[in-house]
Structure 1
Amino acid sequence: MRHLLNITDLTVDEIKLVLELSQRDPASLGRPLAESDGTPKGAALIFEKPSNRTRHSMEIAVVQLGGHPIYTRGEEVGFDSREPVEDIARIMSGYHGLIAARVFKHDVVKRLAEASSIPVVNMLSDESHPLQGLADALTMVQEFGSLDGKTVAYVGDYNNVARSLGEVCVMLGAHYRLACPAGYEASGAELSRIAALGNGSINQSNDPQLAVVGAHAVHTDTWVSMGQEAEKAERLQIFGAYAVTTELMSKADSQAIFMHCLPAYRGYEVAADVIDGSASRVIQQGHNRLHASRGVLAFMLGVSQ
Structure 2
Amino acid sequence: MDARQARCRHFLSLLDLSAREARGLLARATELKGMLKAGEEYRPFPNRTLAMIFEKSSTRTRVSFEVGMVQLGGHALFLSARDTQLGRGEPIEDSARVLSRMVDAVMIRTFDHAIVERFAAHSQVPVINGLTDRLHPCQLLADVQTYLEHRGDIRGRRVTWIGDGNNMCHSFMEAAQLFDFELRVACPEGFEPDADLHAAVAGRCSILHDPLQAAEGADLIVTDVWASMGQEEEQARRETLFAPFQVNDAVMSRAAKDALFMHCLPAHRGEEVTASVIDGTQSVVWEEAENRLHAQKALLEFLLLPQA
TM range (shorter): over 0.9
**Deviation at 1:60?**
1.1
Give the AA of the match of 2:220.
A
**Deviation at 1:192?**
1.8
Superposition pairs for residues 62-81 of structure 1, below 5 Å?
A: 62-79=69-86, 81=88
Deviations 1:238-281 (CA, angstroms, capped at 9, x unpaired): 10100001011100001111100000000000001100010100
Task: State how far apart, in whole Å, the 2-side matches of 1:33 and 1:237 are.
Answer: 49
Task: State how far apart, in whole Å, the 1-side matches of 2:73 and 2:221 are.
Answer: 36
Quote the residue 2:144 is aligned against.
137
Superposition pairs for residues 35-114 of structure 1, below 5 Å?
A: 40-79=47-86, 81-114=88-121
CA contact (8 A) 2:113 2:135 kept: yes
**Deviation at 1:101?**
0.7
Paired residues in the alignment total 296
CA contact (8 A) 2:169 2:193 kept: no
CA contact (8 A) 1:152 1:218 kept: yes
Does residue 173 in structure 1 map to residue 180 in structure 2? yes
Task: State how far apart, in whole Å, the 2-side matches of 1:159 and 1:176 are.
Answer: 14
**Deviation at 1:180?**
0.8
Aligned in 2, Cα 1:150/1:29: closer, same or farther, shift over 3 Å? farther
Task: State how far apart, in whole Å, the 2-side matches of 1:117 and 1:29 are.
Answer: 29
CA contact (8 A) 2:52 2:79 kept: yes
Superposition pairs for residues 144-183 of structure 1, below 5 Å?
A: 144-183=151-190
**Deviation at 1:81?**
3.0
Does residue 260 in structure 1 map to residue 263 in structure 2? yes
TM-score normalised according to structure 1 size? 0.93
Give the AA of the match of 2:302.
F
Deviations 1:137-188 (CA, angstroms, capped at 9, x unpaired): 1111111210111110000001111111221133212111100110000244
Does residue 281 in structure 1 map to residue 284 in structure 2? yes
**Deviation at 1:24?**
1.5
Q: Which deviates more from structure 2 when the two are superposed, residues 220-229 or residues 66-75?
A: 66-75
CA contact (8 A) 1:106 1:125 kept: yes
Task: State how far apart, in whole Å, the 2-side matches of 1:132 and 1:79 are.
Answer: 25
Superposition pairs for residues 118-133 of structure 1, below 5 Å?
A: 118-133=125-140
The RMSD of aligned alpha carbons is: 1.7
Quote the residue 1:12 is aligned against.
19
Quote the residue 2:246 is aligned against.
243
Deviations 1:8-67 (CA, angstroms, capped at 9, x unpaired): 111101100110111113578954433xxxxx1221011111100000000011112221
Deviations 1:62-105 (CA, angstroms, capped at 9, x unpaired): 11222110111112124363311111111111211101110111
Structure 1, unaligned stretches of length 5 or more? 35-39
Give the AA of the match of 1:97.
D
Q: Which deviates more from structure 2 when the two are superposed, residues 180-189 or residues 214-223?
A: 180-189
Give the AA of the match of 1:271.
T
CA contact (8 A) 1:32 1:301 kept: no
Match of 1:209 among 212, 217, 220: 212
CA contact (8 A) 1:257 1:279 kept: yes
Structure 2, unaligned stretches of length 5 or more? 1-7
TM-score normalised according to structure 2 size? 0.92
Task: State how far apart, in whole Å, the 2-side matches of 1:50 and 1:212 are.
Answer: 32
CA contact (8 A) 1:18 1:299 kept: yes
Match of 2:273 among 267, 270, 274: 270
Quote the residue 2:296 is aligned against.
293
Quote the residue 1:37 is aligned against.
none
CA contact (8 A) 2:14 2:178 kept: no
CA contact (8 A) 2:30 2:294 kept: yes
Aligned in 2, Cα 1:268/1:78: closer, same or farther, shift over 3 Å? farther
SS at match of 1:231: helix
SS at match of 1:182: coil
Give the AA of the match of 2:260.
I
CA contact (8 A) 1:170 1:195 kept: no
Task: State how far apart, in whole Å, the 1-side matches of 2:103 and 2:267 are.
Answer: 34
CA contact (8 A) 1:259 1:285 kept: yes
Quote the residue 2:5 is aligned against.
none
